[in-house]
Structure 1
Amino acid sequence: MNIVNVMWSGGSPFMSVHTVHRQVLAHAPVEGQVCNWLLLGDGLSSGIGKTRSWHLPSRVLKGRMPHRLALSWVRWRMLRALREAAADVLLLDGVGVARLLLPLLHRLPGVQVAVLFHGTTRLNAEDVRLFRQFPAERLRVAAVSATLARTLEQDLGRPVRTVRIALDPQAFCQQLLGREQARQALGLPEGGPVLGAVGRLVESKGFAMLIEAFAEARARMPGAQLVILGDGELRAHLQARAEALGVADSVRFCGHRDDLARLYPAFDWLLVPSRSEGLGLVLQEAVLSAVPVICSDLPVFREQLGEAGCYLPVGDQPCWAEAIAGCATRDGAALAREQWRALAPEQGWEAFRAGSASLLEG
């Protein structure tokens, strides 16, 4: 079975999406050839099969006038490439890729398609009509969480599968560094508690509010450090804000790390102040690392941690400051054990494996 995995873009901002697709592809029901297509830029890290970078201009992909003629040319090239690849299954990264390739399905009658959604998406009426042209037996729509799947079902008016992303707990835990090793890798000095935050430095992740809350709480937490792993467009702004609040020496920006998954033991707590999430894989990574999690009160986080979650109102700085200060006295190890039991990593991993195989059936 030949699978063509089509991704929107590459680079560190899209690493989590690439990781998800790599995990899904690893559980294809039978061995076959995998070809990865990257529409914009470079830096695809699927780790499975070969890769083709199309280097398409974003203005053409968006299909607005006067670029529709160019878009038709791109689709013709891709139709020819799909036939040459003898594709049996297409795995598409969200609605942007679906808009480009679903119109070709009428000319590829033997190809099955799976569209995997990773986060909240604005679907217009044209998108809905496009998806409804194809029966569920041929076009499978899936989401990385049950919360997201329910929303998409309402928007699309068709079934949406839940393929909740999960990690192999045994493999993940084997690669973790010890606490001191992880702190040395990040260049952290010995001292007070280390609070971690992981993700792209963009508005939706809530890091600006988190820095404000940390600055307020730090007076009650001598020696505490906030360590932020990730990069993005707001880095300079966030650094300037930490400086203005007088906590620049206690807020460390460590940038993007390829070895991120090994480093969670450096943290005493993980803080996830996101405004919205499709899944929030960092939550799972922290739980598997025995690091207790404090997170925004989002349905997708409650889906994973249930009653064991420590949930705070989205964007409520005073509430977050109080919770951060409380980390100094709270039993984090006991909470981490509760969160492991709630997440049930082994069961989640088996469900993910079965869901991925079903999604990619030819």
Structure 2
Amino acid sequence: MNILNVMWSGGAPFSSIHSVHRQVLAHACAGAQVHNWLLLGDGLCSGVGQVRNWHLPARVLKGRLPHRLTLAWVRWRLRRALRDVAPDVLLIDGLGVARLLLPLMQHFPEVRISVLFHGATRLTGRDIALFRRFPIERLRVAAVSATLAGALELDLGRPVRTLRVALDPEAFGSQLPSRAEARRGLGLASQASAPVLGAVGRLVESKGFELLIEAFAKANAAQPGMQLAILGDGPLRGKLEARVRSLGVGDSVRLYGHRKDSTRLYPAFDWLFVPSHAEGLGLVVQEAVLSRVPVVCSDLPVFREQLGESGCYLPVGDEHAWTAAMSDCHQWNAEAKASEQWKALAPDEGWQAFKAGSAGLLER
């Protein structure tokens, strides 16, 4: 069986999405041949099967008016390549890729299609009509959380599967270093009298890192000695670094950029803070829980879906609440909270459900 996995973009900012697709593809049936296409840029991180980088211009893929003829030429090239690959199953990364490829699939009626959504998106009437061209038994739509699946189902007017991404707790735990080793990896003191707070994610507006830095500066003034370690890269990095300097907390806040070993560094943290304004899933929550690091996060439905009553939830965008939590967390029982959140997440059950759901998404 041939499986074609088509993704929008590559590079460090999209590594978490590629990680999800890599995990999904790992559960394809025995003997399946996997082909990966990356439409923009380089650096496909799927790690499974053959890779083709298309280097297509973003302005063309987004269908801007002056480039409609070019878009037709791109689709002609893609149609020829689809014939060469002859996929049995097509796995599509989100709405952008779906808009480009679904119009071509009328020429390949034998191909089963799966579209996996990773985050909230605005569906136009044209998008909804495009999805409804295909019968449910041919086009499978899935989302990485039940929260996102429910919202999409309302918009599309068709069933949306929940494929809540999960990690193998045994494999994940086996690669974790000790707290001292993780802190050495970040250039932090292995022992600290004040908490080391962590944050992980792409440096974009929706992740809330600007608020986190502002809140930390105030909390650190009241409770000196704390450290804030931020792992991740993105377009806001320069702005965030400038704000750290202007607040005078350059000795306490470190932005490390993208780290390939980021999933091994959670043990360095006493607490993980996740101030997102919106999330499709928020895989960092699971990574922290599997590292036995307790999580403080925005009060979002997708986080409650994962942590239930064990979550430490704060109002989205409420700087005062985040400052207070950072100031007080050294008084909380981190070990007990980490254990409580592990039980709520139920990693073993989640992993089994994810394996079954991934295999179902790749069935012919």
> Normalization by structure 1: what TM-score?
0.99
CA displacement 1:118-167 (0-9 Å, x = unmatched) = 00101111000000000110000000000000000111111100000000
1:307 equivalent in alignment to 2:293 = no
Question: Secondary structure of 1:67's match?
Answer: helix
Cross-structure match for 1:254: 256
Q: Distance in 2 between matches of 1:158 and 1:323?
A: 41
Write the letter of the residue equivalent to 2:280: G
Cross-structure match for 1:31: 31
- In 2, are the aligned partners of 1:153 and 1:159 still within 8 Å (CA)? yes
Write the letter of the residue equivalent to 1:291: V
Q: Distance in 2 between matches of 1:7 and 1:162?
A: 20
Deviation of 1:234 after TM superposition, in Å, equals: 1.1
Question: Secondary structure of 1:40's match?
Answer: coil
Write the letter of the residue equivalent to 1:34: V
- In 2, are the aligned partners of 1:29 and 1:358 still within 8 Å (CA)? no
Question: Secondary structure of 2:35's match?
Answer: strand
Report the more deviating stretch, 27-36 or 261-270: 27-36
Cross-structure match for 1:347: 349
Cross-structure match for 1:138: 138
Q: Distance in 2 between matches of 1:249 and 1:222?
A: 11
Task: Give 1:325-340 correspondences, 5 Å limit.
Answer: 325-340=327-342
Deviation of 1:66 after TM superposition, in Å, equals: 2.2
Cross-structure match for 1:267: 269
Write the letter of the residue equivalent to 1:7: M
Deviation of 1:80 after TM superposition, in Å, equals: 1.4
Structure 2, unmatched stretches of 5+, are none
1:53 equivalent in alignment to 2:53 = yes
Q: Distance in 1 between matches of 2:116 and 2:340?
A: 31
Cross-structure match for 2:235: 233
Question: Secondary structure of 1:270's match?
Answer: strand
- In 2, are the aligned partners of 1:115 and 1:142 still within 8 Å (CA)? yes
Report the more deviating stretch, 220-229 or 48-57: 220-229
Task: Give 1:1-362 correspondences, 5 Å limit.
Answer: 1-189=1-189, 190-191=191-192, 192-362=194-364
Q: Distance in 2 between matches of 1:223 and 1:63?
A: 51
Deviation of 1:30 after TM superposition, in Å, equals: 3.5
Write the letter of the residue equivalent to 1:162: T
Report the more deviating stretch, 26-35 or 12-21: 26-35
Q: Distance in 2 between matches of 1:275 and 1:30?
A: 40
Q: Distance in 1 between matches of 2:247 and 2:53?
A: 43
- In 2, are the aligned partners of 1:40 and 1:54 still within 8 Å (CA)? yes
Report the more deviating stretch, 205-214 or 336-345: 205-214
Question: Secondary structure of 1:347's match?
Answer: helix
Quick one: percent identity of the two aligned structures? 69
Report the more deviating stretch, 346-355 or 242-251: 242-251
Write the letter of the residue equivalent to 1:207: F
- In 2, are the aligned partners of 1:221 and 1:328 still within 8 Å (CA)? no
CA displacement 1:254-289 (0-9 Å, x = unmatched) = 111001111100000000000000000000000000
Q: Distance in 1 between matches of 2:185 and 2:285?
A: 21
Write the letter of the residue equivalent to 1:211: I
Indicate the RMSD between aligned Cα atoms, in angstroms.
Answer: 0.9
- In 2, are the aligned partners of 1:90 and 1:114 still within 8 Å (CA)? yes
Q: Distance in 1 between matches of 2:297 and 2:203?
A: 17
Report the more deviating stretch, 196-205 or 181-190: 181-190
Structure 1, unmatched stretches of 5+, are none
Q: Distance in 2 between matches of 1:185 and 1:199?
A: 18
Deviation of 1:78 after TM superposition, in Å, equals: 1.2
Deviation of 1:360 after TM superposition, in Å, equals: 0.7
Question: Secondary structure of 2:23's match?
Answer: helix
Deviation of 1:64 after TM superposition, in Å, equals: 2.3
Report the more deviating stretch, 79-88 or 271-280: 79-88
> Normalization by structure 2: what TM-score?
0.98
Q: Distance in 2 between matches of 1:239 and 1:102?
A: 41
Deviation of 1:71 after TM superposition, in Å, equals: 1.2
Q: Distance in 1 between matches of 2:94 and 2:121?
A: 8
Question: Secondary structure of 2:131's match?
Answer: helix
Q: Distance in 2 between matches of 1:345 and 1:39?
A: 33
Aligned length: 362
Deviation of 1:328 after TM superposition, in Å, equals: 1.1
Q: Distance in 1 between matches of 2:332 and 2:223?
A: 13
